[in-house]
């Protein structure tokens, strides 16, 4: 929707910051940016692109066949069944044109009113399973947005369904008309929303090609910096796309390199919770809630609101927490400094895409371990636990002396082959010995009492606030309430079974992080160290191999005392304990013989690692000490957040 400023039309809710063409230097760095994106493997091959088109053609034909089959079963005539139609729409990264090799295709199946959701999961799912070249068909009918995940000719596809209040679905159907949403249930509205939002974003950018190139860069950067995850409180693909689209609106004649440069500066300076809007919020024909912070307290609580442009407008970033907002803001600033150096020729684009330092950054980490004895059950259980991690982060943010709780964006999956119940219990608590790690499936076949444990481990980095000047004594960091409440929360899942599912929350020192969280060669070898003179603090066991000596000396100068600075207490009743509490009951055997996993609580007390451990340096709080990145050429970010924007 184009707005008018006098005689000049523009896209967005404010006039552009600049309508100038990009400079010769910005054009040069755009060329090198695209070269780097190709080197990084973000573009698929021509053969894969053609295969995707073939797969989508086969899928479109299968959807029509499915609608026809159900129509005949409902008693429609042959002619009516043939005319009932059925159509697919792509959305997400594929529709936006920023997908990479091996990425999935988000696909919406639109069907007429006489085809039900039950038909989709009963009839269509079975038709998929019987189709040549189709593998890994898995329906999740009770998901927030019900979905079928599958692979066709090796191309992963996520299928959602929407039933419109129409007797037939024509081939030229457009989803832009808001009236199509009438008389639909909430799940159908949510399914339609993905496609409608994607199409609206593309309509609202001044140059689709520039938008795609810039978004491909931002997407890769966010993935490498481990801040690409809606479920964990960062931003998902749609939110990143809307941010890039907004910068494109503010610089309608700029090319990709200039858009990327302005992106980081403007996002760092953005006056949250001022919302990011691609067009004014519109009312529509449905009695549904549209994002409105003046009306709804929950909407006022959104920290970084990025609002979808298609009716009904929603906040795509309601999961953002205080911690994840701080982390993203810090990353915006770092990235703006790197791009500044790229522009002046003192850095390369590869520096922007450097891997995150999450597992080198903190002294303490929380491990959240979800485990079961079945691969199918593990998918659902670990997904449930992951969806609640954000709640744990929010509770940790209220803990005194804890500056920040940083969730990692993915879990680490492992399959362990255990010989007995003792090994099952150890694995469920995160203690996987070298012998268990090396064991293979055939090693336990025919062994009485042996079982397989499937586990997924999630990590949260804990940043302890620096000691205040003049303070003395050992500080206590009590995280018992957040961890206890979190375990209660996940066990409230309606399908939770304490005899089949395990949940463990425990803390570990950085030096105890398992090797699987590091890339090959990333972890420095542990160095042999001298025994400390004191018997009360085991300095060697807490020394991180991952931090250069320079940082170690810096931390030693800050903390000259050898006394522990902080005691971490996951349980109020465990101040003297040093080991994880064992489960209150032994594992039971399920009907299929797999070892069922116990419910486990952790109870430990730990001293803060010594001065040689890694340390989190929180952002400077005094605004006068911050050198904020600035837009070039006298451009003013305030234009984009002018008063009067809703």
Of the candidates 94, 228, 362, 365, the residue annotated as catalytic is 228
Is 158 labeled as ligand-binding? yes
* H or E element, residue 453: strand 451-464
Is 351 labeled as ligand-binding? no
Per the annotation, the verdict on 219 as an active-site residue is yes
Is 93 labeled as ligand-binding? yes
Per the annotation, the verdict on 294 as an active-site residue is no
Per the structure block, which two tokens stand in for 337? 């400094």
The whole-angstrom separation of Cα 641 and Cα 250 is 11
Per the annotation, the verdict on 106 as an active-site residue is yes
Of the candidates 106, 119, 299, 546, the residue annotated as catalytic is 106
Is 219 labeled as ligand-binding? yes
Is 92 labeled as ligand-binding? yes
- Chain centroid to CA 150: how far? 21
The whole-angstrom separation of Cα 256 and Cα 238 is 19
Confirm if 418 and 424 have CB atoms less than 8 A apart. yes
Of the candidates 22, 94, 168, 219, the residue annotated as catalytic is 219
The whole-angstrom separation of Cα 172 and Cα 575 is 68
The sign of the CA dihedral 43, 383, 599, 581 is positive
Q: Read off φ and ψ for residue 326, nearest 5 degrees.
A: -60, -40
- Chain centroid to CA 577: how far? 35
DSSP assigned state of 307: B
* Residue the block writes with tokens 């936006």: 96
Per the annotation, the verdict on 104 as an active-site residue is yes
Is 105 labeled as ligand-binding? yes
Q: Read off φ and ψ for residue 9, nearest 5 degrees.
A: -95, 145
The whole-angstrom separation of Cα 259 and Cα 248 is 6
Q: How far is CA 286 from CA 16, 180, 200, 439, 444, in A?
A: 32, 10, 19, 57, 58
Of the candidates 22, 64, 87, 158, the residue annotated as catalytic is 158
Instruction: Render the burial of 306-329: b for 16+ CB within 10 Å, e for the rest.
Output: bbbbbbbbbbbbbbbbebbbbbbb
The whole-angstrom separation of Cα 303 and Cα 318 is 8
Per the annotation, the verdict on 346 as an active-site residue is no
Of the candidates 27, 104, 178, 380, the residue annotated as catalytic is 104
| Long-range CB pairs of 38-45, under 8 A, 24+ apart, other chains included | 39/350, 40/220, 40/350, 40/353, 41/100, 41/101, 42/100, 42/216, 42/220, 43/100, 43/101, 44/99, 44/100, 44/101, 44/103, 45/101
Per the structure block, which two tokens stand in for 17? 């910051």
- Chain centroid to CA 530: how far? 42
First to last CA, the chain: 16
Of the candidates 93, 229, 313, 336, the residue annotated as catalytic is 93
* Residue the block writes with tokens 């890339």: 519
Q: Is 79 exposed, middle or buried (0-12, 13-18, 19+ CB in 10 A)?
A: exposed
Is 172 labeled as ligand-binding? no
Longest distance between any two alpha carbons in the chain, whole Å: 90
Other beta carbons within 10 Å of 216:
24
User: Could you write out the DSSP letters of every residue in 562-596?
Assistant: -S-SEEEES-TT-TT--SPPPPSS---B-TTSPBP
* Residue the block writes with tokens 């920290």: 303
Per the annotation, the verdict on 171 as an active-site residue is no
Residues 6+ apart with CB under 8 A from 446: none
* Residue the block writes with tokens 């929603």: 314
Confirm if 321 and 394 have CB atoms less than 8 A apart. yes
Q: Read off φ and ψ for residue 484, nearest 5 degrees.
A: -65, -45
Is 177 labeled as ligand-binding? no
State the catalytic residues.
93, 104, 106, 158, 219, 228
Q: Which residues are annotated as a binding site for ATP?
A: 91-93, 104-106, 158, 219, 228, 237-238
Q: Which residues are annotated as a binding site for Mg(2+)?
A: 104, 106, 158
Q: Which residues are annotated as a binding site?
A: 91-93, 104-106, 158, 219, 228, 237-238
């Amino acid at each position: 929707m184009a707005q008018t400023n006098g005689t000049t039309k523009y896209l967005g809710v404010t006039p552009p910051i600049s309508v100038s063409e990009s400079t010769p230097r910005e054009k040069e760095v755009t060329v090198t940016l695209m070269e780097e994106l190709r080197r990084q493997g973000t573009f698929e091959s021509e053969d894969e692109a053609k295969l995707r088109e073939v797969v989508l053609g086969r899928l479109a034909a299968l959807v029509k066949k499915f609608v026809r089959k159900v129509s005949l079963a409902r008693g429609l005539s042959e002619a009516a069944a043939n005319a009932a139609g059925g159509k697919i729409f792509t959305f997400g990264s594929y529709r936006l044109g920023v997908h990479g090799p091996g990425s999935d295709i988000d696909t919406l199946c639109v069907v007429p009113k006489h085809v039900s959701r039950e038909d989709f999961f009963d009839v269509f799912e079975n038709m998929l399973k019987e189709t040549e070249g189709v593998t890994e068909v898995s329906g999740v009918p009770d998901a927030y947005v019900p979905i079928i995940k599958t692979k066709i000719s090796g191309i992963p596809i996520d299928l959602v369904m929407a039933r419109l209040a129409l007797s037939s679905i024509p081939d030229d159907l457009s989803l832009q008309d808001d009236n199509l949403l009438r008389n639909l249930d909430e799940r159908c509205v949510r399914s339609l929303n993905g496609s409608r939002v994607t199409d609206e974003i593309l309509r609202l950018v001044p140059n689709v090609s520039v938008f795609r190139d810039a978004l491909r860069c931002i997407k890769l950067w966010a993935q490498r910096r481990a801040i690409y995850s809606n479920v964990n409180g960062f931003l998902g693909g749609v939110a990143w796309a809307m941010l890039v689209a907004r910068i494109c609106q503010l610089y309608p004649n700029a090319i990709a390199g200039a858009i990327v440069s302005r992106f980081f500066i403007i996002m760092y300076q953005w006056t949250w919770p001022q919302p990011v809007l691609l067009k004014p919020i519109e009312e529509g024909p449905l009695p549904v809630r549209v994002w409105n912070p003046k009306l709804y307290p929950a909407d006022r609580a959104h920290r970084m609101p990025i609002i979808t442009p298609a009716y009904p407008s929603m906040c795509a970033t309601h999961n953002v927490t205080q911690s994840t907002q701080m982390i993203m803001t810090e990353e915006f600033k770092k990235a703006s400094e790197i791009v500044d150096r790229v522009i002046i020729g003192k850095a390369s684009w590869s520096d922007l895409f450097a891997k995150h330092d999450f597992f080198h950054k903190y002294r303490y980490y929380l491990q959240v371990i979800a485990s079961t004895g079945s691969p199918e059950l593990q998918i659902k259980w670990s997904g449930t636990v992951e969806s609640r991690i954000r709640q744990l982060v929010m509770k940790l943010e209220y803990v005194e002396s804890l500056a920040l709780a940083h969730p990692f964006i993915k879990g680490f999956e492992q399959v362990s082959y255990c010989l007995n119940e003792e090994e099952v219990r150890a694995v469920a608590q995160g203690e996987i010995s070298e012998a268990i790690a090396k064991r293979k499936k055939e090693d336990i076949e025919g062994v009485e009492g042996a079982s397989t444990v499937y586990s997924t481990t999630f990590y949260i980095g804990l940043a302890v606030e620096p000691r205040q000047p003049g303070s003395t004594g050992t500080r206590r960091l009590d995280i018992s309430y957040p961890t206890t409440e979190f375990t209660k929360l996940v066990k409230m899942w309606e399908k939770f079974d304490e005899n089949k599912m395990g949940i463990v929350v425990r803390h570990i020192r950085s030096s105890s992080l398992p090797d699987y969280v590091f890339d090959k060669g990333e972890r420095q070898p542990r160095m042999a160290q001298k025994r400390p003179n004191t018997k009360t603090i085991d300095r060697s066991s807490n020394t991180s191999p991952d931090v250069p000596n320079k940082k170690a000396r810096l931390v030693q100068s800050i903390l000259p005392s050898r006394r522990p600075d902080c005691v971490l207490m996951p349980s109020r009743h465990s101040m003297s304990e040093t080991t994880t509490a064992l489960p209150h009951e032994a594992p039971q055997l399920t009907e299929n013989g797999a070892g069922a996993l116990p419910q486990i609580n952790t109870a430990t007390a730990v001293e803060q690692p010594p001065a040689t451990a890694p340390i989190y340096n929180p952002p400077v709080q005094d605004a006068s000490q911050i050198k904020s990145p600035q837009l070039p050429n006298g451009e003013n970010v305030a234009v984009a957040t002018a008063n009067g924007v809703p």
